[in-house]
Amino acid sequence: MKPKILVLYYTQTGQLKQILDSMLSGIAQLAEIDYCEIKPVNPFPFPWQSATFFDCMPESVQQISEPIEPLHIPNKSYDLVILGYQPWFLSPSIPFNSFLRSSQADFLKGKKVITVIGSRNMWLNAQESVKKLLIGLKAELVGNIVFFDRNPNLTSVLTIIRWTFTGRKEATKRMPEAGVQQKDIDAGSRFGPILFDALQQGRLNELHTTLLSANAVEMSPALVILEKRAITNFRKFSLFILEKGKRGDPARKGRVNLFKRLLFVGVFILSPLSSLTAGIAVFLKKRSLDEAVQYFKNIRYKENAL
């Protein structure tokens, strides 16, 4: 009998669907694969308007749900559920978080699950939140695969800004294509056979170790420091904005604008300094950061890791 796989995902531009399609391309005939797309009742328009984009930060960071469409998941006994999502403001995207917090996610109880992340390059805190939600749902996380933009941080910020606010993803004379590199998306096809073998051999408990040896999760120690700094500030600022109202409330516009300006200062002005201090910290705290990297590459969960 063919193993049954359910793929549940949200994608705004289609990048994550492309990643999932590439991953599963080699096993499409070998497994029974059903796809289900998470759709918000009020879709997030793409390309984004600047005001709407930054106004999403508080609800993303505080993981506040919004309504999603009914999912129509086939009633089958799936051997594996693949959850595809993306970070928004270092947190699970609002549509994906809304799914996990809705009763539509209850069927995940007792299911073996892998997460597939399509990010710019900052995904640690989002995955910690997802791990915690999966424990609450009594699902069993057996693997994680991370796709990210390998370009230098500032390059990836510039290209994603252009993509996000104009919809233009393609390379220019001076800048590479935005998002996860096509060659990494294509190379994602190596993961399908790994999933299939683990399913066939009933060895899903060893799946993540095999995925790691196929470089499913690559990260630098500096990411731990940079994400910790950023999420600490985002948590405070999100509460400050929420004091003024919910998403879309004009009363919070001033605070959202302030956040936007500070973020630009952080990214474009303080970023070289921030990278330098993170580099020094990596050197000074090598042992504890190596342990942190091992933790974040893995799938177990401990409270307050960031």
Ligand X SMILES: Cc1cc2nc3c(=O)[nH]c(=O)nc-3n(C[C@H](O)[C@H](O)[C@H](O)COP(=O)(O)O)c2cc1C
120 binds ligand X (CB under 6 A): yes
Q: Lay out the site mask for ligand X across 89-108 (x = CB under 6 A, - = otherwise).
A: xx------------------
CA pair distance 208, 206, nearest whole angstrom: 6
Tokens of 164: 């996000």
CB atoms within 10 A of CB 183: 9
CA pair distance 263, 186, nearest whole angstrom: 33
237 binds ligand X (CB under 6 A): no
Q: Which of residues 146-205 bind ligand X (CB under 6 A)?
A: 164
Which region among 120-128, 133-141, 169-177, 247-255 touches ligand X (by CB under 6 A)?
A: 120-128
Cα dihedral 102/105/110/112 (nearest 10): -130
Choose which of 3, 40, 58, 87 interacts with ligand X (CB under 6 A).
Answer: 87
Question: Which letter, b or e, does each residue of 160-182 get, where b requires 16 or more Cβ atoms within 10 Å of its Cβ?
Answer: bebbbeeeeeeeeeeebbbbbbe
Q: Are strands 140-147 and 4-9 parallel, antiparallel or unpaired?
A: unpaired
Choose which of 3, 58, 92, 118 interacts with ligand X (CB under 6 A).
Answer: 118
Choose which of 16, 24, 223, 241 interacts with ligand X (CB under 6 A).
Answer: 16
CB atoms within 10 A of CB 3: 18
Contact (Cβ atoms closer than 8 angstroms) between residue 52 and residue 253: no
Which region among 31-39, 80-88, 215-223, 296-304 touches ligand X (by CB under 6 A)?
A: 80-88
Q: Which is nearer to ligand X, 3 or 221 (CB)?
A: 221
Choose which of 3, 8, 15, 188 interacts with ligand X (CB under 6 A).
Answer: 15
Which region among 70-78, 117-125, 279-287, 291-299 touches ligand X (by CB under 6 A)?
A: 117-125
3-state secondary structure of 229: helix
Choose which of 13, 155, 181, 277 interacts with ligand X (CB under 6 A).
Answer: 13
The CB-of-249 to ligand X minimum distance in angstroms stands at: 18
Q: Which is nearer to ligand X, 117 or 134 (CB)?
A: 117
Q: Lay out the site mask for ligand X across 42-71 (x = CB under 6 A, - = otherwise).
A: -----------x--x---------------
Q: What is the three-state SS of 42-100? A: CCCCCCCCHHHHHHCHHHHHCCCCCCECCCCCCCCCCCEEEEEECEECCEECHHHHHHH
144 binds ligand X (CB under 6 A): no
Q: Which residue reads 């000074």 in tokens?
A: 284
- Give me the residues that bind ligand X (CB under 6 A), please: 11-13, 15-16, 53, 56, 86-90, 118-123, 164
